[in-house]
Amino acid sequence: MVEVRPSGAVLGADILGVDLSQPISAAAFGAIRGAWMQHLVLRFRDQRLNDDQLMAFSASFGALDRNPRHARGELRTVEDSSAYVNVISNVVENGKAIGGLGNYESLWHTDMSYNAIPPMASALYALEIPPSGGDTGFCNMYAALESLPPTLRQRIAGLSCVHDSSLNSVGQLRVGFEEVTDPRKTPGAVHPLVRTHPVTGRACLFLGRRRNAYIPGLELAESEALLDTLWAHAVKPEHCWAQQWQVGDLIMWDNRCAMHRRDEFDGNARRVMHRTQISGDRPF
CB of 169 vs ligand SIN, minimal distance in Å: 5
Largest CA-CA distance found in the chain, in angstroms, rounded: 56
| SS3 (DSSP) at 55 | helix
C-beta closer to ligand SIN: residue 15 or 129: 129
Q: Give dist(CA 144, CA 147) in Å, integer.
A: 6
CB of 36 vs ligand SIN, minimal distance in Å: 17
C-beta closer to ligand SIN: residue 105 or 224: 105
3-state helix, strand, coil in the chain (%, to 5): 20, 25, 50
CB of 67 vs ligand SIN, minimal distance in Å: 12
| SS3 (DSSP) at 222 | helix
C-beta closer to ligand SIN: residue 15 or 87: 87
Nearest to 35 by CA among 78, 2, 9: 2
Determine contact, residues 135/245, Cβ cutoff 8 Å.
yes
C-beta closer to ligand SIN: residue 226 or 273: 273
Task: Tell me which residues touch ligand SIN (CB under 6 A).
Answer: 88, 101, 106, 124, 136, 169, 260, 262, 273
CB of 248 vs ligand SIN, minimal distance in Å: 15
